[in-house]
Amino acid sequence: MKRKGDELSQDIANPCSGATADMYCEPASMFNYVTPIDFIVGHKAAITGVAICDNTIVSSSCDQTLGIYNPTPSSFSCFSTDNIVSTCVDFCNDTQTIICGCADGSIRLWNLAPASLISCINSPPSHSCPNGIKCIMLLENKILAGHENGRVSLSYLETCSHLCYFTDSQDSSATTCLACYSHLNEHFIISGHANGKIKIWNYTLNNVIQTFQPHSQAVTGIKVIGNNIVSASHDGNINILDIRNGHNISTIHELNGSINCLATYEHYIITGCENRCIAFWDIEQANCVYNFLAHTAAVTCLDIFGDRLVSGGADNTIKLWQLK
């Protein structure tokens, strides 16, 4: 565990640090200062995923380990994932168990105290294209995972068993991010893809009901806010779409170029970017209200719990920020 509070304070002293002449941020009183809480070091390769629940942070990394951070007493430890790269991670229904998606296509359920593997869900193999997992999320008591072959898999959390695939026979572009929404007691799955497309799936019928093309490069994050889909992409754009018809309500061009990850906080969009910055955007005004240098390499992942933001980077570090 390593702390560099002074270094972090210097990084964010100017809310537009690292900005070029044409990068402009509106002042926002609530973001006069994003306070650094901790700088977590322990992984030996780029961070691929982070999740925060209460005061516990878990992380996945290209170094084939998962990490656990606890603030009281302050500690960070890593444990091996049996020589398999975990590409994404999330908490289950408590802070004692987590799920991770792996490059070999498996989903693994882990106990944190002590760190031990509970179960492994091996998806049916795909002989035509890679089956590795790119993203993962929980939907009620089921696990949704996005795969390199463009599919979305559904598995039971309680029995740790594979249930079915959502497959688009017309498109096998990698599924890079997931979200869900409900309407009139029906569940729908939203997936972002490496070819810039966004798809809406009928949860019951397992089929695609709408496809949009808001981006020219990979979609790296999706959030649902009311009747709108907010998406971010490697093309440097944030798009706000009407979920009902795919109509483009607004397009915001990211100050920092390629966007690697997306989060939302109150009425703000948060982006983590290739040029090491984190930016806050007002959804209604579609403008940047805060932009700061967060890591020494690309920001690869973000997560929010309450008023705390956690970020992971290609610099192998995790940083915890207080937003208010």
138-170 confidence digits (pLDDT tens):
988 899 999 999 999 999 998 889 888 999 999
CATH of the domain at 233: 2.130.10.10
CA gap 230, 244 in Å, rounded: 13
* Domain hosting residue 256, numbered range: 5-322
Q: For residue 191, give the nearest of 164, 209, 205 by alpha carbon.
A: 209
Instruction: For the chain, report the end-to-end CA distance as a whole number of angstroms.
Output: 25
> Does the predicted model carry a pTM greater than 0.85?
yes
Total domains in the fold of the chain: 1
CB atoms inside a 10 Å sphere around CB 159: 11
The answer to whether residues 81 and 102 touch, using CB atoms and an 8 Å cutoff, is yes
CA distance 221 to 204: 24
Interval 26-74: pLDDT, tens: 444 555 568 888 999 999 999 999 999 988 999 999 999 999 998 777 7
- Asked if 241 and 273 touch (Cβ cutoff 8 Å), the reply is no
Q: Which of 47, 89, 57 is nearest to 295 (CA)?
A: 47
Residue 260 near residue 274 (C-beta atoms within 8 A): yes
**Which two tokens mark 221?**
């994050």
